[in-house]
Amino acid sequence: MDKKELENLLMRFSHLGVTHSKNGALLIGKAPHIAEYAWLNIMYPCITEAEVCDLEKKLGVAIPDVYRDFLMNVSNGLNIMNCTLALHGCRTTSYNRADFESRYPFNIEDVQKSERPKNATPEMFFFASYNYDCSKLYLNTSDNKIYYCDRYDATPLKSWDSLSAMLTSEIERIFSLFDADGRIFSRMAPTTPVAL
């Protein structure tokens, strides 16, 4: 999936507003019913090869080519429907929570290093999480498939053949949980994938 394809998918909520943050993040779908500065979907500015190399040093592992390409050519992380699903990225500058004019992705260091399930193996690269229950997505470098797992257990509950396939199906599934104004139909219903 390229940047334009992803942008087009997220534009379903463009009627609620579109703008850019001070640091270049694309904000789609203003959501005042959530919070004054809330946006439904956020794409972050891509990062450079040098920034990816610095991130790999911090992580202590190589970022798989598929996700490296995503960070450098599509988006440095992603928030879908107010973090219902968040793809984590690289924090390239110091983060100031009081600065509402700039937007930053969740830090991939957290999900990859300190939030890994105990039974995770080295070929599992964790890069995303769901806000409903902190369950996760990882890319398995042995087959390049994307897997969904519980917060504390890396046993796969669902899989997709590629990052692009996961993004397309998850964006569509998550969007179906919300009305045209970006309000969730049921606050009690799980917003995570259905395990197979």
Mean predicted lDDT score pLDDT of the chain: 94
Which residues in 59-165 belong to E strands, given as ranges? 78-80, 85-87, 124-130, 136-140, 145-149, 158-160
Q: What is the pLDDT of residue 97?
A: 56
Q: How far apart are CA 160 and CA 173, in angstroms?
A: 14
Which residues in the chain belong to E strands, given as ranges? 18-20, 26-30, 39-43, 78-80, 85-87, 124-130, 136-140, 145-149, 158-160
Q: How many domains does the chain have?
A: 1
Where residue 63 sits, what CATH number does that domain have? Answer: 3.40.1580.10
Q: What is the pLDDT of residue 195?
A: 83
**Each residue's pLDDT tens digit in the chain (196 positions)?**
899 999 999 999 999 999 999 989 999 999 999 999 999 999 999 999 999 999 999 999 999 999 999 999 999 999 999 999 999 999 876 555 555 677 889 999 999 999 999 999 999 999 999 999 999 999 999 999 999 999 999 999 999 999 999 999 999 999 999 999 999 999 889 999 988 7
With H, G, I as helix, E, B as strand and everything else as coil, classify residue 64. Answer: coil
Residue 12 lies in a domain: yes
Residue 191 lies in a domain: no
Contact between residue 171 and residue 28 where contact means Cβ atoms under 8 Å apart: no
Residue 189 lies in a domain: no
From residue 32, alpha-carbon distances to 14, 71, 82, 177, 179 in Å are: 14, 29, 11, 18, 14
Kindly report, residue by residue over 81-129, the tens digit of the pLDDT. Answer: 999 999 999 987 655 555 567 788 999 999 999 999 999 999 999 999 9
Residue 165 lies in a domain: yes
Of the candidates 193, 166, 187, the residue with the CA atom closest to the CA atom of residue 82: 187
Q: Whole-structure pTM over 0.85, yes or no?
A: yes
Domain that holds residue 66: 3-88+100-175
